[in-house]
Amino acid sequence: MTGSTFIFYMLAALTLVSGFLSVTSRQIFRAAIYLLFSLLGIAGLYFWMQYEFIAAVQIVVYVGGITVLIIFSIFLTQQAGELLAVQKAGRKLFAALASFCAFGITMLQVYQHSFINAADNNVMEASVTNIGTQMLSTTQGGYALPFELVSILLLAALIGCIVIAMRLKPVNQ
Amino acid sequence: MWSLSGITNWVDQWLNATFNPTLTLIIEMVIVGVCVISLFAVLGLVLVIMERKVSAWMQIRLGPNRVGPKGMLQSFADTLKLLVKEGFTPNGADKFLFNLAPYLAIIVAMLLMAPIAFAKDFHMWNLNIGVLYVSAVSSISVISILMAGWASNNKYSLMGAMRSGAQIVSYELSAGLAILTIVVLTGSLNLNDIIQSQANGWWIFKGHIPAIIAFVIFIIAVTAETNRAPFDLAEAESELTAGFHTEYSGMKFALFFLAEYVNVFIVCAIGATLFLGGWMPFHIGNWQSFNHVMDFIPSSIWFMGKTFFLIFLIMWFRWTFPRLRIDQLLNLEWKYLLPISMFNILLVTAVAILGWHF
Amino acid sequence: MFIVKYIKNVFSAIKSLLVGMRRTGYYFTHHKEIITQQYPDNRETLVLPERFKGEVVMPHNENNEHRCTGCTACELACPNGTIKVITKFDITPEGKKKKAIDKLVYHLELCTLCNLCVIACPSDAIVMAQTFEHSVFDRNKLTKVLNNPDSKIMDGVE
């Protein structure tokens, strides 16, 4: 086993163990922190594959954004410090079955999919310049339309937030 | 000429000649780790005494003057005291997270050291997304503060953590946009490319008004991100005793304290790299002899000089301005810094496209 | 207009911040302004400001005479009962009885150094001294008698 493989297994173990703990922990704040470590493990995998840009984006979006949001909502929730109730055995079984089915489908897909071998094909280098160009290109395989659609979605979400947060002036009778 | 990169190359060659590649890699990692930890220790000692002296002189006081010559060994005494003090975990605290939080803070500070170029060809990791990496990893530091605040089981800690979360999440935006200004001008996220692009002049001089606006916004935003006065609402001694580290004592407190100072060093190093040319010497146009004299100063001295100048600036802020209220803080970010930096991005894009910069 | 006010706001804020920074920068570079007194070291040369109020004393002249008539104005003026005037009756050479102080007891441990007794005194018999190293191991030592033993009232003070 080379050092690289060893690092991969360490990162995978971190991701899986903290993911499992995040599901089984009965303290909600700890669950959020375990989720954070799971997401960091995935970012570590991206760094391991030398996709630094994706890894950094993973950290910015999931760690800096989503986890902080989750922790904030835990802080603002009443009785967030209490232990969560133990679920019924039937529910546990169902949840385990559902996650196992999802795992099975993913693995099936992974085994059936014919991956392109990165070593013999001219795979585009994942530099930031390339990603940026690809994101705004309108040619074959360009992502300009999805990019614009997503930005419209985000704009709509922004406007929605402002409308919800806006304090309307009381209407004079 | 004497240079740090020469030493690292020599060490690398010697190790490669003596051991096999895997062992060399491990030994080099150990060396780098030891260097980073000793740099942390030195930075902690130097910055604490610097802060105390600067604050004293700005408040017409003498400052520490008993331990060692002119009180310069005061921080050794402080460190010794913190080392031998009991690390106390309060009752009702979430012990695991309470003990994890300071280590997370210091690990984040260590990770942030990786892409910084300390001298010419002297850095740990020549990362092609250096700037993005720094702003991504620094967003983890807020988690350690939130963790400490929650796990302490103390109302002051929790409030401090909430405030600091709101503050860091909002000021990250304008810090990011200020960094983006220089990225637009350079066209690269790599810190070494950014330094190379300043060979004929630092960005603060050749970037016209947008670079200056970005520099001011960057300094304000990073002061807020490192939780220092006038943005120290997370600690706010007069309101929250000590905010998120109220319950910490001994070495765990020292780790938080050290992480704060190291974070100040890191953001100042990034600021010096982006705006003041990193290790690039100061050159003026065609004054050949002047430029030659400037070249003679080692690049590490240039880098440290610029970084410590920015650290001094941030300390100057701390000991001049009173603390903001939370609503003033958020107003400043969302009503002033963010719109101005967005406008600034547009301006700098125009400057970069039209080639108005030098 | 909104935008003009906004820009004005920004610039006036920056200006006021720079004013503050100029002040602290001035202090940073001018070490002669430092006002710290390194107290136990400079005990010999320490100069206290004139208005400093350390404790109440009663000055006596070289003939062991003071100016206190025993009118108890200070005792009445004191807000927390620090001063207790114990009077006696002297026999003057003419054979008349005259009121005078036996002891002027001063409780330093109760005194807030408010200066009201000194203001109240009609004959300027008591003043505030500049001493300040009052700590002792026994509380009784803080109860002082201000007039010297066998002291007399100065001639001409009524």
User: Which residues sit opposite C66 in a β-bridge?
Assistant: C153
Lowest mean pLDDT among A59-63, B188-192, B346-350, C123-127: B188-192
8 Å CB contact of B57 and C34: yes
Compute the average pLDDT of residues B133-156: 84
Any idea where the domains of chain C sit in the sequence? 2-33, 55-153
How are beta strands C127-129 and C55-57 bridged, if at all?
antiparallel
Q: How close is the nearest chain C Cα to the Cα of B222, in Å?
A: 17
8 Å CB contact of B147 and A56: no
What tokens were used for B20? 């096999």
CB hemisphere CA count around A113 (13 angstroms): 9
Give helix B299-318 / helix B208-225 axis angle, nearest 10°.
Answer: 70
8 Å CB contact of B336 and C10: yes
Which string of b and e fits B138-148 if b means at least 16 CB within 10 Å?
bbbbbbbbbbb
From the list B129, B136, B143, the residue facing A67 with the nearest CB is B143
Is the pLDDT reported for residue A157 higher than 90? yes
Is the pLDDT reported for residue B185 higher than 60? yes
Compute the average pLDDT of residues A105-110: 91
For chains C and B, tell me whether 3 or more CB atom pairs sit within 8 A of each other: yes
What tokens were used for B316? 């100057």
Q: How close is the nearest chain B Cα to the Cα of C6, in Å?
A: 9
8 Å CB contact of B320 and C20: yes
Confidence band (pLDDT; 50, 70, 90) for A125?
low
Mutate to test the interface with C, among B51, B52, B57, B323 (most CBs of C within 10 A): B57
8 Å CB contact of A60 and B94: no
C-chain residue closest to B65, CA distance = C38
CATH topology of domain C55-153: Alpha-Beta Plaits (3.30.70)
> Which 3-state string (H, E, C) describes B137-198?
HHCCHHHHHHHHHHHCCCHHHHHHHHHHHHHHHHHHHHHHHHHHHHHHHHCCCCHHHHHHCC
B137 chain-A contacts, CB cut-off 8 A: 59
Coil, strand or helix at B117: strand
How high is the pLDDT of residue A104? Answer: 93
How are beta strands C127-129 and C152-153 bridged, if at all?
unpaired
Tell me whether residue C128 is exposed, middle or buried, using C-beta atoms within 10 angstroms of its C-beta: 0 to 12, 13 to 18, 19 or more.
Answer: middle
B139 chain-A contacts, CB cut-off 8 A: 59-60, 63-65, 68
B-chain residue closest to C32, CA distance = B60
Q: Judge whether B271 lies within some domain.
A: yes
Alpha-carbon dihedral B218, B224, B228, B231, rounded to 10 degrees: 130
Q: Judge whether B187 lies within some domain.
A: yes
d(CA C108, CA C102): 19
Confidence band (pLDDT; 50, 70, 90) for A97?
very high
d(CA A44, CA A56): 10
Q: Pick the more confident residue, C93 or C74.
A: C74
d(CA B274, CA B218): 10
Closest CA to B167 of B92, B116, B97, B243: B243
Quick one: how far is CA C149 from the chain centroid? 24
B316 chain-C contacts, CB cut-off 8 A: 21, 24-25, 28
How high is the pLDDT of residue A119? Answer: 63
Residue pair B97/B247 in contact by the 8 Å Cβ criterion? no
Q: Note the pLDDT tens digit of each residue in B65-83.
A: 888 788 788 888 888 888 8
From the list C21, C31, C34, the residue facing B316 with the nearest CB is C21
The overall longest dimension of chain B from CA atoms, in Å, is 68
Coil, strand or helix at B92: coil
d(CA B178, CA B215): 7
d(CA B282, CA B287): 11
pTM of the model: 0.82
Which string of b and e fits C103-116 if b means at least 16 CB within 10 Å?
ebbbbbeebeeeee
Confidence band (pLDDT; 50, 70, 90) for B20?
confident
> Which 3-state string (H, E, C) describes chain C?
CHHHHHHHHHHHHHHHHHHHHHHHHHHHHCHHHCCCCCCCCCCCCCCCCCCCCCEEECCCCCCCEECCCCCCHHHHHCCCCCEEEEEEEEECCCCCEEEEEEEEEEECCCCCCCCHHHHHCCCCCCEEECCCCCCCCCHHHHEEECCCCCCEECCCCC
Q: A67 and chain B: CB distance < 8 Å anywhere?
A: yes
Phi-psi region of B16 (alpha: psi -120 to 50; beta: other; left: phi over 0): alpha
B62 chain-C contacts, CB cut-off 8 A: 34, 36, 38
Alpha-carbon dihedral C14, C15, C16, C18, rounded to 10 degrees: 90
Provide the sign of the torsion angle of the four alpha carbons B188, B190, B191, B195, taken in this order.
negative
B-chain residue closest to A128, CA distance = B129
Q: How close is the nearest chain B Cα to the Cα of C20, in Å?
A: 6
Among A114-128, B113-127, C22-36, the range with the most confident prediction by mean pLDDT is C22-36
For chains A and B, tell me whether 3 or more CB atom pairs sit within 8 A of each other: yes
Q: Judge whether B25 lies within some domain.
A: no
Confidence band (pLDDT; 50, 70, 90) for B197?
confident
- Total residue length of chain C: 158
Q: A63 and chain B: CB distance < 8 Å anywhere?
A: yes
Contacting chains of A (3 CB pairs or more, <8 Å) are B
Q: C34 and chain B: CB distance < 8 Å anywhere?
A: yes
Q: Judge whether B175 lies within some domain.
A: yes
Query: Using beta carbons and an 8 Å cutoff, which residues of B are at the interface with C?
Result: 54, 57-62, 65, 316-317, 319-321, 336, 340
Closest CA to B174 of B215, B205, B208: B215
d(CA B192, CA B196): 6
d(CA B263, CA B109): 6
In this structure, how many other beta carbons lie within 10 angstroms of the beta carbon of residue A98? 10
Contacting chains of B (3 CB pairs or more, <8 Å) are A, C
Rounded to a whole number of angstroms, the distance between the first and last alpha carbons of chain B is: 31
Mutate to test the interface with A, among B96, B104, B132 (most CBs of A within 10 A): B132
Compute the average pLDDT of residues A41-52: 86
Is the pLDDT reported for residue A155 higher than 90? yes
Is the pLDDT reported for residue A121 higher than 60? no
Which string of b and e fits C70-83 if b means at least 16 CB within 10 Å?
bbbbbbebbeeebb
Give the helix ranges, DSSP H, for B276-356: 288-296, 299-318, 326-331, 338-354
Q: Note the pLDDT tens digit of each residue in B212-259.
A: 888 888 998 888 888 887 887 777 677 777 777 788 888 888 888 888
Q: Judge whether B61 lies within some domain.
A: no
Q: Judge whether B350 lies within some domain.
A: yes
Q: Pick the more confident residue, C63 or A78.
A: C63
Q: Judge whether B320 lies within some domain.
A: yes
Q: Note the pLDDT tens digit of each residue in B291-329.
A: 777 777 777 888 888 899 999 988 888 888 888 888 888
Q: How close is the nearest chain C Cα to the Cα of B242, in Å?
A: 25
d(CA B67, CA B269): 30
Residue pair B296/B110 in contact by the 8 Å Cβ criterion? no
Whole-number percent of chain B with pLDDT over 70 = 97
Mutate to test the interface with B, among A58, A74, A75 (most CBs of B within 10 A): A75
8 Å CB contact of C27 and B316: no
Average pLDDT, chain C: 84
8 Å CB contact of A36 and B143: yes
Structural domain of B137? 84-354
Is the pLDDT reported for residue A126 higher than 70? no
How high is the pLDDT of residue A102? Answer: 93
From the list B61, B316, B336, the residue facing C24 with the nearest CB is B316
Mutate to test the interface with B, among C22, C27, C35 (most CBs of B within 10 A): C27
Domain count, chain B: 1
Q: C33 and chain B: CB distance < 8 Å anywhere?
A: yes
Contacting chains of C (3 CB pairs or more, <8 Å) are B
Rounded to a whole number of angstroms, the distance between the first and last alpha carbons of chain A is: 79
Q: A36 and chain B: CB distance < 8 Å anywhere?
A: yes
Q: Note the pLDDT tens digit of each residue in C112-146.
A: 888 898 898 888 888 888 888 888 898 888 888 88
C-chain residue closest to B339, CA distance = C6
Q: Note the pLDDT tens digit of each residue in C87-111.
A: 888 777 777 777 778 888 888 888 8
DSSP B277: -
Tell me whether residue B249 is exposed, middle or buried, using C-beta atoms within 10 angstroms of its C-beta: 0 to 12, 13 to 18, 19 or more.
Answer: middle
Confidence band (pLDDT; 50, 70, 90) for A118?
low
The overall longest dimension of chain A from CA atoms, in Å, is 79
8 Å CB contact of A60 and B158: no
What would you report as the CA-atom Rg of chain C, rounded to the nearest whole angstrom? 26
In this structure, how many other beta carbons lie within 10 angstroms of the beta carbon of residue B318? 20
How high is the pLDDT of residue A101? Answer: 94
